[in-house]
Every structure is written in C-alpha cells, then in structure tokens.
C-alpha cells in the first residue's frame, strides 16, 4: 500500500497478485521525472521541435509539432529530450491532466515547461492508461495548486499511485485499450485527410478557377466553364445570417436540449457532441426564438476563437450558444457541403481576418460583417458539381465522428474497470478487429 498522500491515502482494492506503486518508483533511475523548457523564446524554423500541452489530447500526441526552439537551448534542457516511449503528462493550465505516450517519431524532440516527462522503465502504455483513469485524474486535480491556474509539481506527480498487475495481464489490458485508441485516432486521421482533400478541391476550383470533372468514358477530363464568368458574391447573397440571443448563459441541467458551445466546434468543420451543454426546455425555447440550428445549417463564432465554423449533422437540432452566429442557406442555394468547405477554407480565414476587430481582451467579428464576407462564385452548375463531389466526403467525416464518440464512450467505460482489475480479460485479442 502506497502512502501516496503522505498521510495514509486509502487506495481502492485491487486483485490478488497486483500491487500499488508510486509513479516515481516506476521511472528509470538515471533519468527521473522532469519537465521541459521553461522559457523557449521565439520560434526557430531550423531548431528542435518542442511538444507543448496543446499537442497532447485524448491519449495521443499531435502528428505535426509546429513550434521549434533553438537547438542550443534544447541541448541545455537535455533531460527533457525525448527518446520515445516516455509518458507525457500536462502539468499546467487549461490542458491540465492530459496524458500520452511519446511515439518513436518524437525521438530528439524536446518539451515545454507545462509537459512532464516520465521515463518509466516498462509498460508505458499501461502506466499512461492508469494516469488517465478517473482515480488518478481526481488525485491530480486535488493535489494541484490552483491559486492562478492548475499546476501539479513534480513531487506530487511522482507520488501518484499506479496499480501494477502481473506483466502478462498488463499486456492484455494495454493491447485491448490501445486497439480502441488506435481506431479512434485512425478515424481522426481519415477526417483530416478528407478535409485536406476537399479544401484542395475548393482551392483548385474556386480560387485558382480550374474546375475539372473526370469523365467516365474515354477521353480527357471535362473543364467546366461558368456561363457568366467568375465573380465575387457575398455570404448574405447565399444564406440568412442569424445572431445568437444576447442574454445571460442559461443554467446547465443534467439532461435536456443542447446549447452549442465553442468546444463542440472542431477545426475540420464537424460538430463534436460527445459532451453537450444541456438546458431546460424553457431556456431552449428562449434561445431558439431566433433560430433553431438544424441539419445543413452552419454555425460560426464571432468572439475569441473567431471564425470557427461547423455544420449541423443529420438528426441534430440545437440552440446557438453565446458568441455564435447561425448561417442557413437560402432555398435557391441547396449546397451545404459547399458552404462548410467555404467557411473553413483559407480564403474565408483571410476574409474573416480582414474584418476582425482586435480588442484589448478578445478579438471579435461584428455580426453585421458576416453577410458581407466575400464568396468566390463560378455559377450554379459549378457549385452543384462541387456539391456532388464534396457531399459524400463531408457525410463520411460526420459518420467517422459519430463512431469516434461511440468508441470513446466504450473506452472510457472500460478504462477504469480494466486498470483497477474490476474487469479481467481472458485474452489479449478481446477488442482487436474493431
């Protein structure tokens, strides 16, 4: 039994043959637990990639690490240089408590101060799963210093209790849950690939003005030419723009209709409803008095994370949250895949940047400016042809997101039971082939 809190913390029961160990006791003694670079300075394009807290999410590390520090500075913080296989824990700020294992591709990378580096001697996948369990997450929250923002020091991190099963059982648990994590990450990668493809198609057709359709019969692809030439229209020509209700945010309830939140909007234009903000029917009626968002509508944010946009998927209805604007296509423009691709395009990001007011606290996009956002237009035929190509791709993305939600719920239900021994696996292949 680990005296994890220094005062006799009562630990949950675990099966016979398992033991509790402090996280620090599982670490390579010659390295120890550490955190990364305290003051990284400016981005150095020729420097060493640095993993920061926002690069860690849901058990995985981002594929692309954009920020780099000077190689000289990285060498001064050599203890936090990754070899691959370390457990990474975010210790500070808004991303507090995230956990992932550094994959081999991160060898040679460094980490930022908010990221704790835990070089465990063996079974890093299982240790990471244990730290993602509700029990460990609760301890991190309780032990954190929250004076300004949540901060867990290395001493407290090292005291975290970790259940240690026999090696054979560790492998079974890690294999089962890693299969779920891998499928979740595969779906996310597929969505990133589809989003990149649709954006490339949009740029080619509507920015570079080269719309081309492959022909089923023999012969060269067909170059589409607009009857009335390329022109610039406005978003207000194509859609109604409806502002959200400007009232105090309603109280959250345990179950009820959904009030959309900024966190529901993903960067690829999909709407993640894994976690929803439920409100009472009376509040919902009030917050949908101007518009009830439904399938095919889009929402766009106008304060803070300005210009984040998502499309409402099939069978979903919701109220617009604070600082959100609804966009509903006019009947004569039934092109929802075109609309969301436009709203998440580089073209529109630049348009929004031109119309965004920089405030002392938060940037803001005036709702009156949204209908004036410019739209590259090649005529109904070309937009309809783009819609036929993009619509099934966007639907696939939304289907992948639904599957991610189901797999995440399954994983989150199994994780605490497996790492505590409440559920025992008969074989390592139990969740393979999902």
Out of 335, 362, 381, a domain closes at: 381
> In percent, how much of the chain has pLDDT > 90?
76
400 touches 187 (CB < 8 A): yes
User: Do residues 92 and 215 both lie within one domain?
Assistant: no
Asked if the model's pLDDT at residue 227 lies above 50, the reply is yes
Residue at 376 is within a domain: yes
The mean pLDDT value for 12-40 works out to 94
Let me know the angle formed at the C-alpha of 87 by 179 and 157, rounded to the nearest 5 degrees: 130
In a domain, 433, yes or no: no
Residue 165's pLDDT is what? 94
Q: Are 137 and 193 in the same domain?
A: no
Whether 156 maps to a domain, the answer reads yes
- Tell me the average pLDDT across 294-307: 92
pLDDT on residue 98: 95
pLDDT score, position 59: 87
Question: Both 29 and 115 in a single domain?
Answer: yes
In tens, the pLDDT along 70-101 reads: 999 999 999 999 999 999 999 998 889 999 99
pTM: predicted TM-score of the whole model, two decimal places: 0.79
Find the range with the poorest average confidence among 23-27, 111-115, 244-248. Answer: 244-248
- Specify the long-range contacts of residues 63-70, CB closer than 8 Å, at least 24 apart: 63/189, 65/106, 65/109, 67/40, 67/43, 68/43, 68/44, 69/37, 69/40, 69/41, 69/44, 69/110, 70/41, 70/44
In angstroms, the CA 408 to CA 429 distance is 19
Copy the structure tokens of residue 390: 């993009």
Q: How confident is the model at residue 212 (pLDDT cuts 50, 70, 90)?
A: low
Strands 87-90 and 99-101: antiparallel
Phi, psi of 395 (to 5 degrees): -65, -40
The domain tally of the chain equals: 2
Quick one: pLDDT at residue 139? 95
Do 207 and 66 share a domain, yes or no?
no
Task: Say if CB 102 and CB 82 are below 8 A apart.
Answer: yes
pLDDT value of residue 403: 95
Q: How confident is the model at residue 8 (pLDDT cuts 50, 70, 90)?
A: low
Residue in 66, 28, 69 with CA at minimum distance from that of residue 48: 69
pLDDT at residue 141, as a whole number: 93
Distances (CA, A) of 413 to 12, 129, 180, 184, 409: 17, 13, 12, 15, 6
CB contact at 8 A, 2 and 21 = yes
Same domain as 218, residue 142:
no
Q: Output the pLDDT for position 275.
A: 86
Q: Are residues 53 and 132 in the same domain?
A: yes
pLDDT confidence band for 303 (50 / 70 / 90): confident
Share of the chain above pLDDT 70, in %: 91
Phi then psi for residue 60, to 5 deg, are -135, 160
pLDDT-derived band at 427, boundaries 50, 70, 90: low
Owning domain of residue 318: 187-381
And the tokens for 340? 């969301």
The pLDDT, as a whole number, for residue 223 is 57
Residue ending a domain, choose from 381, 406, 423: 381
Residue 4 has pLDDT above 80, yes or no: no
* pLDDT of amino acid 213: 58
Which is nearest to 134 in space by CA: 418, 423, 401, 402?
A: 418
Domain shared by 253 and 376, yes or no: yes
pLDDT digits (tens, 9 = 90+) for 329-384: 999 999 999 999 999 999 999 999 888 876 645 578 888 999 999 999 989 999 99
Instruction: Give the number of other CB atoms < 10 A from CB of residue 294.
Output: 15
Asked if residue 427 belongs to a domain, the reply is: no
Flag whether pLDDT at 387 surpasses 70.
Answer: yes
Q: What is the CATH number of the domain that holds 342?
A: 3.90.220.20
pLDDT band at 219 (very low <50, low <70, confident <90, very high): low
Shared domain for 210 and 353, answered yes or no, is yes
Same domain, 150 and 193: no
Residue 99 domain-assigned (yes or no): yes
pLDDT at 10: 84
Cα distances (Å, whole numbers) of residue 410 to 72, 172, 175, 355: 45, 17, 15, 43
Residue 367 lies in a domain: yes
pLDDT, residue 430, reads 47
Question: Could you tell me if 153 and 212 lie in one domain?
Answer: no
Contact 160, 99 (CB under 8 A): no
Lowest mean pLDDT among 8-22, 122-136, 271-285, 333-347: 8-22
Residue 125: its H or E element: helix 124-132
Q: Same structural domain for residues 262 and 361?
A: yes
Higher pLDDT, 276 or 359: 276
Nearest to 150 by CA among 207, 95, 187: 95
Tell me what pLDDT residue 216 has: 46
Q: What is the mean pLDDT of residues 271-295?
A: 95
Mean pLDDT for the stretch of residues 303-332: 94
Mean pLDDT across the chain = 89
- Whether 117 is in a domain gets the answer yes
Q: In the prediction, which pLDDT does 63 show?
A: 87
- pLDDT digit string (tens) for 170-195? 989 999 998 999 999 999 999 999 99
Tokens at residue 388, please?
A: 């036929």
Assigned domain for 284 exists: yes
Task: Clarify whether residues 274 and 192 are in a common domain.
Answer: yes
> In the prediction, which pLDDT does 149 show?
86
Residues in the chain, overall count: 434
pLDDT of residue 274: 86
């Amino acid at each position: 039994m680990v005296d994890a809190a220094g005062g006799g913390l009562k630990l949950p029961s675990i099966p016979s043959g398992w033991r509790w160990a402090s996280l620090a006791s599982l670490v390579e003694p010659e390295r120890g637990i550490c955190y990364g670079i305290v003051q990284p300075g400016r981005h150095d394009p020729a420097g060493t990639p640095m993993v920061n807290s926002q690069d860690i999410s849901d058990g995985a590390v981002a594929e692309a690490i954009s920020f780099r520090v000077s190689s000289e500075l990285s060498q001064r913080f050599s203890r936090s240089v990754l070899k691959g296989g370390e457990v990474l824990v975010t210790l500070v700020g808004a991303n507090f408590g995230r956990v992932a294992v550094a994959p081999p591709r991160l060898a040679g990378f460094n980490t930022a101060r908010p990221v704790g580096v835990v070089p465990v001697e063996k079974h890093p996948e299982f240790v990471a799963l244990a730290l993602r369990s509700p029990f460990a997450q609760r301890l991190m929250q309780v032990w954190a210093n929250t004076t300004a923002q949540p901060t867990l020091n290395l001493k407290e991190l090292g005291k975290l209790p970790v259940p240690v099963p026999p090696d054979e059982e560790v492998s079974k648990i890690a294999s089962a849950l890693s299969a779920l994590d891998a499928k979740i990450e595969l779906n996310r990668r597929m969505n990133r690939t589809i989003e990149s493809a649709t954006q490339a198609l949009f740029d080619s057709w509507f920015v570079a003005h080269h719309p081309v359709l492959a022909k089923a019969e023999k012969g060269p692809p067909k170059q589409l030419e607009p009857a009335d030439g390329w022109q610039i229209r406005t978003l207000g020509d194509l859609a109604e723009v409806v502002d959200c209700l400007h009232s105090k945010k309603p109280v959250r309830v345990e179950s009820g209709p959904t009030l959309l939140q900024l966190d529901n909007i993903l960067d690829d234009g999909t709407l993640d409803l894994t976690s929803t903000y439920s409100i009472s029917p009376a509040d919902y009626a009030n917050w949908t008095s101007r518009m009830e968002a439904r399938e095919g509508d889009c929402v766009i944010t106008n304060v803070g994370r300005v210009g984040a946009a998502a499309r409402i998927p099939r069978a979903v209805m919701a109220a617009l949250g604070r600082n959100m604007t609804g966009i509903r296509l006019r009947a004569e423009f039934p092109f929802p895949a075109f609309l969301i691709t436009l709203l998440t395009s580089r073209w529109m990001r630049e348009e929004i940047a031109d119309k965004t007011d920089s405030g002392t606290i938060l940037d803001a996009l005036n709702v009156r400016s949204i209908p004036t956002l410019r739209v590259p237009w090649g005529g109904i035929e070309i937009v309809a042809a783009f819609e036929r190509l993009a619509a099934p791709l966007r639907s696939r993305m939304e289907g992948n997101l639904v599957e991610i939600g189901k797999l995440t719920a399954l994983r989150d239900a199994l994780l605490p039971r497996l790492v505590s021994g409440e559920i025992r696996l008969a074989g390592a292949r139990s969740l393979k082939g999902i």
